[in-house]
């Protein structure tokens, strides 16, 4: 597995989340059972995800583990690791939400993969 696949997969994942959060915030809020005033937070989060998706898409052909691509790998690792841990803690507290398992696994998988790119010499 190379960094181009990881960058492409994370770009698609974040891009889909960006589209959902930016253009369908009411539906996402309703699905998650949140208050309707939280739509602006989801739209801002969608903008953040869109930025990360574009960064990953544009940088997929670069050597991500190298000296110039290291900030991209570090940003992705930080995002996926911190969010993955937060989702894992939430899942432990409320395991009845089924979609949380899939989301948590996606985040933790990307955290491990970007960790290998950033700290290991396994992926090129």
39-91 residue pLDDT tens: 899 999 999 999 999 999 999 888 776 778 889 999 999 999 999 999 999 88
Distance between CA atoms of 88 and 2, rounded to whole angstroms? Answer: 26
**pLDDT on residue 96:** 78
pTM above threshold 0.85: yes
Can you spell out the DSSP letters for the chain? --HHHHHHHHHHHHHHHHHHHHH-HHHHHHHHT--GGGHHHHHHHHHHHHHHHHHHHHTTTS-TTSTTTHHHHHHHHHHHHHHHHHHHHHHHH-TT-THHHHHHHHHHHHHHHHHHHHH-SS--
């Amino acid at each position: 597995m190379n960094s181009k696949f990881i960058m492409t997969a994370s770009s698609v994942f974040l891009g889909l989340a960006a589209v959902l959060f930016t253009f369908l915030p009411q539906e996402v809020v309703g699905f998650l059972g949140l208050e309707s005033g939280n739509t602006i937070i989801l739209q801002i989060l969608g903008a953040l995800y869109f930025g990360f998706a574009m960064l990953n898409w544009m940088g997929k052909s670069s050597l991500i583990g190298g000296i110039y691509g290291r900030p991209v790998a570090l940003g992705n690792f930080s995002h996926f690791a911190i969010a993955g841990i937060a989702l894992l803690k939430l899942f432990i507290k409320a395991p009845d939400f089924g979609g949380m398992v899939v989301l948590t696994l996606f985040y933790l998988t990307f955290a491990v993969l970007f960790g290998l790119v950033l700290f290991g010499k396994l992926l090129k």
